[in-house]
Structure formats: C-alpha cells, structure tokens
Amino acid sequence: MIIQSDRSILLETDGPAFEDARDCLASFAELVKSPEHIHTYRLTPLSLWNAAAAGLTAPEIITGLETFTKYDIPQNIIVEVEDNIDRYGRLKLYRGDDDQLVIQSDDEMLIMELLHHKELQQYVTGTPDMKRILVKPGDRGNVKCALIKIGFPVEDLAGYTEGSPLEINTRETCLTGKPFSLRKYQIESIAAFWANGSNAGGSGVIVLPCGAGKTIVAIGAIATCKTHTLILATNTVSLRQWKTEILDKTDLNEDDIGEYSGESKEIKPITIATYQVLTYRKTKDSPFEHFKLFDKGQWGLVVYDEVHLLPAPVFRATASLQARRRLGLTATLVREDAREDDVFSLIGPKKYDVPWKVLEKQGWIATALCTEVRVKLREEERYQYVIATKREKFRIASTNPSKITICQKIVDKHKEDNVLIIGQYLDQLRELQEHFKVPMITGRTGNKERQRLYEDFRTGREKLLIVSKVANFSIDLPDANVAIQVSGTFGSRQEEAQRLGRILRPKSDESVLARFYSLVSRDTCDQDFAIKRQLFLTEQGYRYEITPEEDI
C-alpha cells in the first residue's frame, strides 16, 4: 500500500500479499477505482463508522495499515482514523423517563455544539443538563439522520418493542430430505446482529455475496428473535422463494406465513411483502395506501432484502420504525443514489461482512471467471451512433446487432452448461429470443409462468433462458453457471453484483466454473460505462479479462 495524506490509499495488485491487504482494506475503506495494476481506496467517515460499529478499533485499523504500507503512514491519517472511530459512540441514545429519548454525552462542549445545529434543533424538547438532550420517541430516526449529517453518529441503545412472540425453530432435516445446519459465517453474522439480545444489537446490515445464503441468515435471525416478522422482498417471485425457504427450513406451516403483494393481502405471524406494493399509490400526490402494514402487525423484526435497493418512500417509513428490530441484507452497500448514510442511520450500521473470495476459497460460492468481450459496431450503426444524442448513443451501443452473433458463439462453447442471457432492452431480448427460439422472462411475464420457466431451468428441461432485469433480484437459480450480459444500466455496480450473483451459487459439481460474459460495443459509451461496472467485480477480487470478439 501507499497511504497518502488526502485519505487515498493505493494498492498494488501484483504484490505477494495483495489479497490479504485487499481484505484488510475492505473492512474500513471504500474502493474508488480498480484498474489492472493499482487499486485506489479512500478512507471516509462513513467507512470508518461502519468499521467501528462492526467492532474494529482504531489501533486494529492502524496496525492493518502498518502491516501492508510501503512508506510511513502520514500523521494526519492516523489522527483521522482515531478521531472518526472515536466519534462513533461518543453520543448515546437511550430511553429515559416518561418515554422521552435522551441523547447523552460526557462531552459538554459537544452537547452545546449540537444544540446550535439547525438540523437537530427542530427535534429537541429539552436539556435537563449539559450532558443530555431530550427528543421525542417519534423522531428517533430523524434524529439519527440529523446527527450523522452533523458528523457525530449516535449509538442507538434505546431498545426495541418485543413484538408478538412466535415459536419458531430451524429444522435439522429440510422438508426436501436434505440435512440442514447453519454455516460458521452465517452463525457469526446472526450473533453480530443479535448481540445477545442487548440494546447494542438488533439493527444493522449483513453484507454477504449472492449465493452465500442471506435468506438463511434471516431465517436464523427470526428463529433467534422468536417474534412476529415483516419481510420486505423485491418482487413476487422472490416473495414466494422466501416462503418456500422458510417452510423448508423451519417448523412453521403454511398458516403462519402471509403474502402481501399485488395478488394477496394476508397478514400472518410471518408476513412477506414486496417493495412494489408498499410504494403503490393511485397518483403521484396520493398517500401510500399500504404503509399501514407497518402498524397492522405486532412486528418485533423487520427484514429488508436487498437493502441497497430500498426505495426512498420505504426509507421515510423506516424512520418511524426505530423501535422495531431491523435487519438489512445485501451483497453490496453501494447505492446508486449515494444514500448509504441513510442505510446506516435508519436500518443500522454494517454488522458483518465476508469478502466474496474468502467464501469462494471455502467452497461456499462458485469460482467465477469474468470476461468482457468488445464487439465492433457495424458501419451503419457507427454512423447512427456518431450523430445521436447522448442518451440515444447508449441505446445504440447497448443494442449492437453484432452482439447476437457473439452470443451464438458463446452459447455454442457452452452447450453442456446452463446459460442465462441477461439484458436491459426488451427489443434486443426479443431479437435474441427469435434467434435462439427459447423462453424469455420480462416484467410482463405472469408470476405462475415465471415460476414454471425457472423450474424448467432448474431441472434442466431448459438449458438456455433469456431474462430482463427482473432476474437481477433474489432469484434462486443454483444450476446457472454461465451468464451473458448483453446490456446493462449505465455504470451500475449494484446491478453487476446481482447479475454475477445469479451464477455464483455453489454447484453440485465443484469443478464447474461460473462464467460471466459482458458484451460491450468497442469505442463507445457502452465501453465507458462497462469500466465503471468492472469496479464492483474487481473490488470483490475477480480478475476481469478483456478480449476482442475475434478471440471468442
């Protein structure tokens, strides 16, 4: 490492300790860019506060930097690390008399400073002394958001309502007949979230790769909390997969689990709702009709699947749910809207994180090879591209007709494999469907038909499936081992994570490699955005090879 005084850290990729250094940095720094030879990280207050919440101390972070640095650590970096780690927990939030919430600190000057901040003043109801500030319980989430923006994240120790009790236990043998037990890292992540049931636990985010069993972690957390639980899922197919997993791996029955979606409105001890139904409203200015679900059940736990995709309205609703335990699940804390601090404040800090490559080495997720194939634009498309508007340029480059030929070559190479073709543009996907004569799943495909096609793919009746971006989220296709991405959403790192995740679930044959191909039009904005999407893959330690179309 070369640690610089501007908080940036340069990491050489060809050093013998690269992987250890990368895993060290991942626990307290953000990756900024990662071309072939030098990766750039940055220390930020949020990255350090997440590290502090996960239990890392300033001496541990500094020791990690000293272990791998090439030169002396700049003195201001040591001070920054110590200061930001010290800031987390300097303020405590707890429940006082008469149900008031109390912000407490031994630093009287800090209390005085906070009282002069407009962001906080609107929530203050009193100051009994210069070590305590009183705020209303209903403003718990808003206060936490205000304090993190001021630069002093508060440690929330105000506790939780227990919710209605639920007797639930995990099985030793699944309904499918397979033995079931939690893996070591899943047990550790549940323990980090639960924190022995203390007020220091109960809210936070578990970061695990796609295919590492985040659903199982949630099931373990529900069995630990033993309380009525609301689960928020990305779509109806995902909702039903959650239900199947809960029935398969716990002693609950059908009557204990409710579906709250566009098709059904059941409220049961375990209720699984979709983000779409929660954010539905008749007009742009109408109220959200289904937000009442948050208050209808006596929830002791709310689980947010794919928390990096949490819609803004659900953030607002979550601000009023701070008295309930909250568990966020994600493969990446990166949000394209840069609202990571809202995740920290309203869902909770990062509680547990395992690098993708660590789980790959342990055999819990498949080994993956990522290949970007650069495809030429034909003469007629090149002319259209040159004269097009900025937005139209991206569409022309993404839907390059030559990509169909390359798709065919890749499919021919993988005749014995289970292949997904994933894309953004429906016209392009319809052309591919016409070319290959295989099924396609889009947002308009009915849920029953989707489930049938997914089942055909799982059982091998279909070896090739074309899917739109609906397959980005929470779809369990354990035998997919080849993905061909023909078009993506600009430079979305979170999308890249989801798409790679479709093929990372461990295979019955451990020798089978997962292959992720990304088809990119050469010398276009498609290529520029692909560089941004590489960031997530290289951040997780995957080598990203680039090859011309002639070599496929």
pLDDT at 511: 53
Using one digit for the tens of pLDDT, what is the confidence trace for 141-191? Answer: 999 999 999 999 999 999 999 999 999 999 999 988 889 999 999 999 999
* Per-residue pLDDT tens digits for 92-145: 999 988 778 999 999 999 999 999 999 999 999 999 999 999 998 889 999 999
Give the pLDDT score at 137.
86
Q: Specify the amino acid at residue 75.
A: Q
Q: Report the C-alpha gap between 505 and 516 in whole angstroms.
A: 13
Coil vs helix vs strand at 520: strand
Is the CB of residue 445 less than 8 Å from the CB of residue 468?
no
End-to-end CA distance of the chain: 36
**DSSP summary character for residue 373:** E
Give one DSSP letter per residue of 221-283, joined into a string: HHHHH-B-EEEEESSHHHHHHHHHHHHHHBS--GGGEEEESSS-B---SEEEEEHHHHT--SS
Domain boundaries, the chain: 2-87, 91-156, 184-354, 365-551
Residue 534 has pLDDT above 50, yes or no: yes
**What per-residue confidence (pLDDT) applies to 23?**
86
Is 259's pLDDT higher than 50? yes
Between 8 and 515, residue with greater pLDDT:
8
Asked if residue 366 has pLDDT above 80, the reply is no
Confidence (pLDDT) at 412: 95
Structural tokens at position 549? 């179309």
Domain 184-354 homologous superfamily, CATH: P-loop containing nucleotide triphosphate hydrolases (3.40.50.300)
Give kind and range of the element (H or E) at residue 546.
strand 544-548
Tell me the C-alpha distance between 239 and 235, whole Å. Answer: 6
Nearest Cα neighbor of 205 from 89, 330, 102 is: 330
The torsion of the CA quartet 288, 290, 295, 298, rounded to 10 degrees, works out to -160
Element (H, E) at 528: helix 525-539
Residue 310 has pLDDT above 70, yes or no: yes
If 0-12 CB within 10 Å is exposed, 13-18 middle and 19+ buried, where does residue 390 land? Answer: exposed
User: The tokens of 193 are what?
Assistant: 């979230």
Q: Which CATH homologous superfamily contains domain 365-551?
A: P-loop containing nucleotide triphosphate hydrolases (3.40.50.300)
pLDDT(85) > 80: yes
Residue 497 has pLDDT above 60, yes or no: no
The confidence score (pLDDT) of residue 401 equals: 95
* Sequence-ordered alpha helix ranges (H) in 311-446: 312-318, 340-342, 356-361, 379-387, 390-398, 402-413, 426-436
Torsion angles phi and psi, residue 202, rounded to 5? 90, -5
Q: What is the DSSP string of 280-295?
A: --SSTTS--TTTTHHH
CATH class as words, domain 91-156 = alpha beta
Distance CA 448, CA 454 (A): 10
The mean per-residue pLDDT over the stretch 216-229 comes to 97
pLDDT of 84: 96
Amino acid of residue 73: I
Sheet of 30-33: strand order equals 2-3, 8-12, 38-42, 30-33
CA 500, CA 116: separation in Å to the nearest integer? 47
Q: What is the pTM of this model?
A: 0.79
Q: How many residues are there in the chain?
A: 552
Domain 184-354 and domain 365-551, same fold? Reply is: yes
User: Which among 495, 467, 468, 464 has a CA at the least distance from the CA of 480?
Assistant: 464
406-461 pLDDT per residue, tens: 999 999 999 988 899 999 899 999 999 999 999 999 888 887 888 888 888 888 89
- DSSP, collapsed to helix, strand or coil, labels residue 516 as strand
pLDDT per position as a tens digit, 327-359: 999 887 877 778 889 999 999 999 998 877 778
Where does the pLDDT of residue 506 fall: very low under 50, low under 70, confident under 90, or very high at 90 and above? low
Mean pLDDT computed over 508-520 = 75
Quick check: 474 pLDDT over 50?
no
Q: What percent of the chain has pLDDT over 90?
A: 56
Contacts 24+ apart (CB under 8 A), 355-358: 355/22, 355/23, 355/26, 355/540, 355/541, 356/209, 356/504, 356/540, 356/541, 356/542, 357/19, 357/23, 357/540, 357/541, 357/542, 358/23
Tell me the three state secondary structure of residue 507: coil
Average pLDDT over every residue of 221-235: 95
Tokens representing residue 284 in the block: 């742009």
In this prediction, residues 540-550 reach a mean pLDDT of: 77
Residue 144 bridge partners (DSSP): none
What per-residue confidence (pLDDT) applies to 89? 87
pLDDT tens, 7-20?
A: 999 999 888 898 89
Mean pLDDT over each residue of the chain, to the nearest integer: 88
User: What is the distance between the alpha carbons of residues 254 and 175, in angstroms, rounded to a whole number?
Assistant: 13
pLDDT given for residue 136 in this prediction: 87
The answer on pLDDT for 491 being more than 50 is no
What's the pLDDT at 347?
Answer: 94
Least confident residue range of 219-233, 468-482, 520-534: 468-482
Average pLDDT over residues 44-53: 93
Using alpha carbons, select from 234, 262, 259, 264 the residue that is nearest to residue 246. 259
| pLDDT of 308 | 83
Question: Which of 78 and 492 is assigned the larger pLDDT?
Answer: 78
Q: How far apart are CA 312 and CA 316, in angstroms?
A: 7
Q: Tell me what pLDDT residue 19 has.
A: 85
Pairwise CA distance, residues 143 & 121, whole Å? 10
Scan for tokens 């895993």, then name that residue: 23
